[in-house]
Amino acid sequence: MKIAVLPGDGIGKEIVAETIGVLARLELKFEFEEAPVGGAGYEASGHPLPEKTLALAKQADAILFGAVGDPRYDALESAKRPEQAILGLRKALALFANLRPARVYEELAAASTLRPEIVAGLDILIVRELTGDIYFGEPKGIRPHASGGREGFDTMRYSEAEIRRIAGVGFEAARKRGKKVCSVDKANVLETSRLWREVMTAEGEKNPDIELSHMYVDNCAMQLVRNPKQFDVIVTGNLFGDILSDEASMLTGSIGMLPSASLDANNKGLYEPIHGSAPDIAGKGVANPLATILSAALMLRYSLHQGAAAERLERAVKLTLRDGYRTADIYTAGTRKVSTAAMADAVAERL
């Protein structure tokens, strides 16, 4: 099992290194090969997604990704910014299906900014389309404006085929869970969303065992903090999914807990924590490695077909939390505050 290891920037390096250490404790044959990406890619070769890094990602069985981004690169032109690395990988590898589960561990219900009874037992899955929408729609740019000055513009686009494809992933996922799909759009305003809703409705009719509902994105943002347990699977576009998944992460206590899988049509995937590079705490040994460790569990399950190992890893994380280990982001009085490395060691010991 060949894993492309792309730590990237900021805390990406620490959390990925610790995760590799945990994986190495499983009795499986991994071959890890590391390559620079994001700001690190730019430093190494003048581009956030160096050719060699992309080639490695293409030939590996799965990709373990840390995070990209650093304020040092904020002034670069768009094409050279670290974020282009992750967007480029998603596009080049056709990773159109982004799965972002948000699960509240019993032990962490008190770490959420919401009241424990609102979030306790929460288990939702956001299925975010990842290679279309306003992220990639052309035309886009900054140009002179007729009234003087400039204008910036982006284009929101979805083809029927793209909507149908992500709908399929959503219905399939729901079938293995609570059998409910909520499709999120902005069909009261956007044409793209009107088509989205039409196609989702047609796909819903082909999946009569799944209960399909529709919700406007603004209402969904509100419902996620009002009564998040009403949801099972949320299926949405790239931009709305980006925003809603950050929101959903805070239901779980910390964005430091949320893993993600980005899959192509054959379940080859890129696995990354949904938090970013957190340059403010990089190198201090305080970042939470659990989102990356849980991403590795998703990698074992979806791309490497090692379901039993995935469960072992997830169980070890649960036991670590039960035993009171907490990084700073999920610390509450009466628990034990530990470093990135100590948290990962605690997980490894519990495998």
* Selected range binding Mg ion among 10-18, 229-237, 242-250, 307-315, rule: CB under 5 A: 242-250
Query: Which residue among 86, 261, 321, 343 contacts ligand IPM (CB under 6 A)?
Result: 86
Tell me the backbone φ, ψ of residue 76, rounded to 5 degrees.
-70, 155
User: Residues 133, 232, 242, 329: which is the catalytic one?
Assistant: 242
In angstroms, the CA 203 to CA 298 distance is 26
Q: Among this protein's residues, is 91 annotated catalytic?
A: no
In the list ligand IPM, Mg ion, none, the entry touching 70 (Cβ below 5 to 8 angstroms by class) is none
| DSSP letters for 101-156 | EEE--GGGGGGSSS-HHHHTT-EEEEEEE-S-GGGT-SS-EEEE-TTSSEEEE---
User: Residues 186, 232, 268, 302: which is the catalytic one?
Assistant: 186
Beta 123-129 vs 233-236: how paired, if at all? parallel
Residue 182: name the closest of 130, 131, 220 by CA.
220
- Closer Cβ to Mg ion, 258 or 321, answer by number: 258
* Pair of tokens at residue 351: 């495998």
- Is 223 in a helix, a strand, or coil? helix
Interactions with ligand IPM, residue window 234-293 (CB under 6 A): 242, 274
Residue 351: name the closest of 306, 315, 298 by CA.
315
- Closer Cβ to Mg ion, 20 or 224, answer by number: 224
212, β-bridge pairs: 181
Q: What is the nearest approach in angstroms of ligand IPM to the Cβ of residue 32?
A: 23
Contact between 242 and Mg ion (CB under 5 A)?
A: yes
Q: Among this protein's residues, is 218 annotated catalytic?
A: yes
- Closer Cβ to ligand IPM, 274 or 296, answer by number: 274
In the list ligand IPM, Mg ion, none, the entry touching 87 (Cβ below 5 to 8 angstroms by class) is ligand IPM
Q: What are the residues binding ligand IPM (CB under 6 A)? A: 83, 86-87, 242, 274
Q: What are the residues binding Mg ion (CB under 5 A)? A: 242
Active site residues: 135, 186, 218, 242, 246
